[in-house]
């Protein structure tokens, strides 16, 4: 552990980190991937070009330095990172590589400010964080039992979920025919495919969109048209991560450019029933625990294809006959995926209410949209949101602006933050302000 003086040295670097943090992260990835090109298999090519991955690491470093005297505050964030690393099969020896190049980047960018004492303090701080993560990841791997790496799956069915065909579900069955482990509804899997013309394997995480089954999993994927925000069920997090996003002209090291939605679009366009892809064990910190004896209202709020993890929750509640009121609130720009399925469930369950509405907040160009959440949600009543019930639980999944507005709306009406859960696809200012 760090002593008082070392802790102070780490905290004293915060102004420089805020000023140079993204530059540090860029130098770190550039030099590490130059010397260890095999690690390219763990990273999203697009996010390296857009700078999203360096920004994600910068946010993690800033959060850690800011909470160095109260590391317990970081537990929810580090849990998300550990789950992500486990989904990518990150191993403890890779932390040695990361630590070496991260501290080298600190020295290269901070120059004389990176004194021997500061370097020692940050070395200790890094290994405090690394040991927290590797310890948690080891526990997750034990829970995975025999399935700790990649497993081949055959695409059993491929189904369009909207009239436009821009959202597609894939039912996946294990090639080895062995029973699949259960998972918590809301979790995701990592998909690995080979894309023609790309040197390295391409990995993305996609939410499971159905209740657990011993013989198949299902993921739901949205075509990426090259927009500002991709929410195809994929994520970015931590020291090593993978997620879908749009491309730009910036670059890091030798990472090759690629078109937007390289994995999502390839799955939709190039993979068919009978083809095989690879998956890792389901992971994720955003989930509904169906084993908990809970009769309190459950409010599921989604936008666009981010309906996927919430549909897994809903289907699980129905299959397990969990007796709790459910309010389903779904926004979409055009067709609402799975609307007929959800409405059929509601017809059979009198304690379920549904609300479908059109909203550009569910679309991927929301960064240029200035409307308010309240204008889109005028049709929602207090009963729809169970605002009078102090025990209701809320699960929200959608583009960042959608989740921010939904969170603000609920908090303004007296819902405590601990009752609201989010599926967070990236490390950014929104995440840092949630806890």
Q: Are 264 and 232 in contact (CB under 8 A)?
A: yes
Q: Which of 231, 268, 266 is nearest to 246 (CA)?
A: 231
Any catalytic annotation for residue 95?
A: yes
Distance CA 197, CA 212 (A): 35
Catalytic residue among 6, 101, 126, 137: 137
Dihedral sign, Cα of residue 380, residue 384, residue 388, residue 391:
negative
Distance CA 139, CA 126 (A): 20
N-to-C CA span, the chain:
25
The strand ranges marked E within 142-290 are: 151-160, 167-174, 188-193, 202-207, 217-222, 276-279
> CB within 8 A of 272, min separation 6: which ones?
155, 158
Any catalytic annotation for residue 137?
A: yes
Q: Is 145 exposed, middle or buried (0-12, 13-18, 19+ CB in 10 A)?
A: exposed
Catalytic residue among 29, 95, 126, 217: 95
Which residues carry out catalysis?
A: 95, 137
């Amino acid at each position: 552990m760090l002593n008082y003086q070392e802790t102070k040295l780490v905290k004293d670097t915060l102004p420089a980190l805020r000023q140079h943090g993204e530059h540090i992260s860029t130098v770190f990835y550039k030099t590490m991937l130059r010397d260890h090109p095999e690690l390219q298999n763990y990273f999203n090519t697009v996010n390296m070009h857009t700078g999203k991955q360096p920004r994600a690491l910068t946010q993690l470093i800033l959060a850690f330095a800011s909470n160095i005297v109260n590391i317990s505050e970081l537990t929810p964030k580090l849990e998300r990172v550990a789950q992500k690393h486990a989904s990518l099969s990150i191993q403890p020896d890779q932390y040695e590589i990361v630590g070496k190049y991260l501290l080298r980047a600190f020295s290269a960018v901070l120059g004389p400010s990176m004194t021997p004492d500061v370097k020692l303090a940050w070395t200790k701080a890094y290994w405090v964080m690394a040991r927290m993560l590797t310890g948690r990841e080891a526990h997750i791997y034990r829970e995975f039992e025999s399935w700790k790496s990649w497993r081949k799956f055959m695409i059993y069915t491929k189904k369009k979920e909207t009239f436009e065909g821009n959202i597609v579900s894939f039912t996946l069955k294990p090639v080895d025919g062995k029973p699949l482990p259960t998972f918590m509804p809301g979790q995701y899997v990592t998909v690995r495919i080979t894309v023609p013309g790309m040197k390295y394997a391409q990995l993305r995480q996609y939410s499971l969109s159905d209740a657990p089954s011993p013989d198949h999993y299902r993921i739901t994927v949205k075509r990426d048209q090259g927009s500002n925000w991709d929410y195809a069920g994929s994520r970015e997090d931590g020291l090593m991560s993978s997620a879908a996003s749009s491309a730009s002209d910036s670059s890091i090291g030798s990472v090759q450019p690629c078109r937007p939605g390289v994995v999502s679009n390839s799955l939709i366009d190039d993979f068919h029933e009978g083809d095989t892809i690879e998956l890792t064990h389901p992971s994720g910190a955003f989930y509904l625990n169906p084993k908990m004896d809970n009769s309190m209202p459950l409010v599921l709020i989604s936008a666009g294809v981010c309906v996927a993890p919430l549909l897994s929750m809903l289907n699980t509640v129905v299959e397990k006959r969990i007796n709790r009121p459910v309010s389903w609130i779904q926004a979409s720009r055009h067709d609402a995926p799975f609307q007929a399925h959800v409405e059929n469930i509601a017809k059979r369950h009198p304690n379920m209410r549904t609300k479908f509405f059109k909203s550009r907040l569910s679309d991927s160009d929301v960064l240029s949209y200035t409307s308010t959440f309240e204008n889109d949600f005028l049709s929602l009543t207090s009963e729809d949101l169970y605002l009078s019930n102090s025990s209701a639980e809320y699960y929200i999944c959608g583009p960042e602006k959608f989740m921010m507005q939904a969170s603000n709306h609920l908090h303004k009406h007296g819902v405590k933050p601990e009752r609201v859960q989010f599926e967070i696809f990236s490390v950014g200012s929104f995440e840092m302000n949630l806890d």
